[in-house]
Structure 1
């Protein structure tokens, strides 16, 4: 934690942006400044508030908590074992393809779920449709290399968005006779679940990769270089959910 604080001081944004706007606001509120600068006093003051809200971890953390809901369930919670289960895992990564941190978290969470429920796993993600050019295929290959039985693993590719991924998986889900689970990051789950319901799925959500943090009040109110990035992830889901509703892709 100490090293992280030192690094925040060395990096230029957003702390220095906040200090710059604060200096401009303080100057504009002085009685001896020119009329033009004085007229901008509210602009610079609003800029200080904006920079603080953008960079304070409390802002992004509370928005993430609002989207994710309750924190991770208890690790001791028992789940029903049913060999008819189908666990649908939404992949995450880049187009090379290569899994990113959320992708690995989803893979690990799906594996733990499978050890409890049994059944099969369906990995979903593009951009290609083969086992070497899709994230779904990469997840299936990785699962096999980690010792999971090949006959329990399937994948579909071709999608580049959450909506396209779920559309690709829908024929297999509709043909399945048994419980269906949907695995994705907790921050991504509301949009994914709403889209799945729009496509007629009756899937039980299994969110993983929770991003909400248990922060003390004072440190969470101080500017942090990680604040804007976390806020961007949360806003991506808020805006994405709105776009999906407007396009009729989700409820």
Structure 2
């Protein structure tokens, strides 16, 4: 599965096209070889442009615009999914990290401080424990925290978290994850029979750009790869009956 996930990313796709192109050139099939090499460079360039990255991101994000934590309805629990960027220095607006307060973890803390729920569930392999420790340092009571650290993907996030929540009679949840991940995560958690309120958070790995939209940037290439992964993931989850 790791190999398949790698092939979703443009860099690996371009590499495969280049290898195929070189193979055809070695076989003296110059037209096919050059076409594949040109496709490799063109695809990599296109996916590395902010214009392409924003085009891929927009359909994933537009249904769940960010809102102030205090505007959300109250729920039984706040579920924060791992996989995002952890704040570097703090979770408060005056911390050195300007994005810390609005990452997944920081926004989940805002929801808790706004009394949107009295329990926070952190879900996602070892990162769940690290997130829990950070929330403890920010004053969240230990008895208000739960961790689910066995899951390795979004489907398991939903299934394992739902088991914990239903056992405690907490079925209305505020789901915190990045905007581009929200469509798949929301569908997966809803499929587990939970009443889910999407609460998207900012993720620093998905920036905005002021530079020329057709000038390639490494961050744009990374964003394009993450978006393509989400589109393939949504299709795969529907095929598996996970959404």
- Give me the TM-score of the superposition, normalised by structure 2: 0.70
With 228-237 and 41-50 compared, the bigger mean Cα shift is at: 41-50
SS in 1 for 2:212: helix
**Aligned pairs for 1:83-122 within 5 A:** 85-92=76-83, 100=86, 105-116=103-114, 117-122=116-121
Aligned residue number for residue 57 of structure 2:
64
Structure 2 unaligned blocks of 5 or more: 1-10, 19-28, 89-99
Instruction: Point out the structure with max Rg over C-alpha.
Output: 1
Deviation at 1:107, TM superposition (A): 0.7
Find the aligned partners of 1:37 and 1:157 in 2 and give their Cα distance. Answer: 52
User: Structure 1 residues 75 and 177, CA, compared in 2 at 3 Å: closer, same or farther?
Assistant: closer
Corresponding position: 1:191 with 2:184: yes
Structure 1 unaligned blocks of 5 or more: 1-13, 22-35, 94-98, 127-133
2:130 pairs, out of 114, 118, 138, with 138
Find the aligned partners of 2:32 and 2:106 in 1 and give their Cα distance. Answer: 56
Find the aligned partners of 2:163 and 2:32 in 1 and give their Cα distance. Answer: 61
| Aligned CA-pair RMSD | 3.2
Find the aligned partners of 1:179 and 1:213 in 2 and give their Cα distance. Answer: 31
Q: Deviations over 1:41-88 (max 9, x none)?
A: 8666655643442221100112112111157434386334x4x63111
Which structure carries more relative contact order (alpha carbon 8 Å, separation 6+)? 2
Deviation at 1:195, TM superposition (A): 0.8
Corresponding position: 1:148 with 2:146: no
How many residues are matched? 203
Find the aligned partners of 2:41 and 2:30 in 1 and give their Cα distance. Answer: 16
- Give me the TM-score of the superposition, normalised by structure 1: 0.68
Find the aligned partners of 1:91 and 1:49 in 2 and give their Cα distance. Answer: 34
Q: Deviations over 1:137-166 (max 9, x none)?
A: 221121111211222111122111111121
Find the aligned partners of 1:166 and 1:38 in 2 and give their Cα distance. Answer: 49
Deviation at 1:213, TM superposition (A): 5.4
Q: 2:78·2:117 contact (CA, 8 Å) conserved in 1?
A: no
SS in 1 for 2:218: coil
Q: 1:67·1:187 contact (CA, 8 Å) conserved in 2?
A: yes
Find the aligned partners of 2:154 and 2:65 in 1 and give their Cα distance. Answer: 22
